[in-house]
């Protein structure tokens, strides 16, 4: 099974790359598959690639469910 998770874009980098954050963990990912991404946007991340943009409320709701299942909080 594959898991794609919402992450928040914190910095746009050259060559269609971005730095994203999830609960304080940062990662550099590719934005090559998604157009018109800005700092503060949420994207769905899978194996280093943003697959699509997602609404902030939907992203937060999804992350809350993931945290609940994992038994953690932000």
- Domain around 54: 5-70
How many domains in the chain? 1
Q: What is the DSSP string of the chain?
A: ----EEEEEEEEETTTEEEEEETTEEEEEE-TT--S--TT-EEEEETTEEEEEE-HHHHHHHHHHHHHHHT---
Instruction: Give me the CATH number covering residue 12.
Output: 2.30.30.140
pTM of this structure: 0.88
Residue 1 has pLDDT above 80, yes or no: no
Question: pLDDT tens, 25-64?
Answer: 999 999 999 999 999 999 999 999 999 999 999 999 999 9
């Amino acid at each position: 099974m594959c898991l794609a998770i919402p992450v928040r874009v914190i910095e746009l980098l050259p060559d269609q790359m971005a730095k994203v954050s999830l609960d304080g963990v940062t990662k550099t990912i590719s934005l090559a598959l998604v157009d018109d991404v800005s700092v503060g946007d949420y994207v769905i991340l899978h194996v280093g690639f943003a697959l699509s943009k997602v609404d902030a409320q939907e992203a937060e709701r999804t992350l809350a469910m993931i945290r609940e299942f994992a038994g953690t909080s932000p």
